[in-house]
Amino acid sequence: MTPKVEAMAAPTIDPTTQAYAELQAAYVHYNNALFDGKLPHCLITMQREKRTYGYFSSRRFGNKHDKTMTDEIAMNPSYFGVVPLLEILQTLVHEMAHAWQFHLGEPGRRGYHNKEWADKMEAIGLMPSDTGKPGGKKTGEKMADYAIEGGPFMQATEALLGTDFRISWFDRHPPAGTEVAAIFGESDSGDDSGGSMIEPMAPGNRSNRDKYRCPNCGAQAWGKPGLMLLCGADECNGEPFELATN
């Protein structure tokens, strides 16, 4: 007897349009609420970059017709189904703060979160912290953040969520072996985020390359996990590369 296979319902709306329109709506909202509408347009993409929720890349895309350039803000959909919506929005605003600094401030060396960026983050209601918790360092190569209770970011987020805003689409196969993968992977999420659809990626399916970065000059290289690299730049004097997280 042939086993019965349930038919999967087709999406009622174009997934590409819906997914990117939601991210764009959030960008416009936070630009107006936290950055006085001063950030230029950018190209928002979804990238499965390992060990990072998102990143900012200045002038990454060019228009072949009018010769203009635009920045990229990349969001990692691997985490959309396994972290709270608040963290997804924090990631977007974290990268928008990098865009603010690139266009209106003075960025530090590549990959480094300097005091100007940290001060701007705190001003818009996100406290920078290398641990993601109170008491962490506010500047450095690897930097997370947490929302300041009652701050501008939380006020803007409450206003956004009051419009029934949501992130509808998520990668059903989050990275294996991460804390976030266990949020919905072991039990029902209790909301409409699709927790029962989550299937963490098997360890054997993960990429076999890691990204490394010199903490001094910001030079980057890809290689197998556990690789030991020394920077060859004159000013770095053999500085050991670190595992890059963004």
pLDDT of residue 245: 63
Q: Is residue 9 part of a domain?
A: no
Separation of CA 219 from chain center:
21
User: Which CATH number covers residue 20?
Assistant: 3.30.2010.10
pLDDT of residue 208: 59
Do 101 and 219 share a structural domain?
Answer: no
Q: Is residue 54 part of a domain?
A: yes
- Write out pLDDT tens, residues 125-144: 999 999 999 999 999 988 89
Do 202 and 233 share a structural domain?
Answer: no
Q: Is residue 4 part of a domain?
A: no
Q: Is residue 162 part of a domain?
A: yes
Instruction: State how far the Cα of 34 lies from the Cα of 54, in Å rounded to an integer.
Output: 19
Q: Which domain holds residue 41?
A: 15-206
Do 236 and 202 share a structural domain?
Answer: no
HSE-CB for 171 with a 13 A CA cutoff:
19
Do 142 and 60 share a structural domain?
Answer: yes
Do 24 and 65 share a structural domain?
Answer: yes
Do 234 and 189 share a structural domain?
Answer: no
Over its C-alpha atoms, the chain yields an Rg (Å, rounded) of 20
pTM score: 0.75
- Write out pLDDT tens, residues 73-120: 999 999 998 889 999 999 999 999 999 999 999 988 777 899 999 999
Residue 204 confidence class, pLDDT cut points 50, 70, 90 = low
Q: Is residue 63 part of a domain?
A: yes
Do 186 and 91 share a structural domain?
Answer: yes
Do 202 and 215 share a structural domain?
Answer: no
Do 194 and 94 share a structural domain?
Answer: yes
Beta-carbon contacts of residue 46 (< 8 Å; ≥ 6 apart)? 19, 74, 75, 76, 77
Q: Is residue 75 part of a domain?
A: yes
Contact, 145 vs 121, CB < 8 A?
yes
Do 195 and 246 share a structural domain?
Answer: no
Q: Is residue 236 part of a domain?
A: yes
Do 226 and 175 share a structural domain?
Answer: no
pLDDT of residue 180: 47
What is the number of domains present in the chain?
Answer: 2
Dump the DSSP string for 39-64.
Answer: SPP-EEEE---TT-SEEEEEEEEE-T
Residue 7 confidence class, pLDDT cut points 50, 70, 90 = low
Q: Is residue 138 part of a domain?
A: yes
Do 214 and 173 share a structural domain?
Answer: no
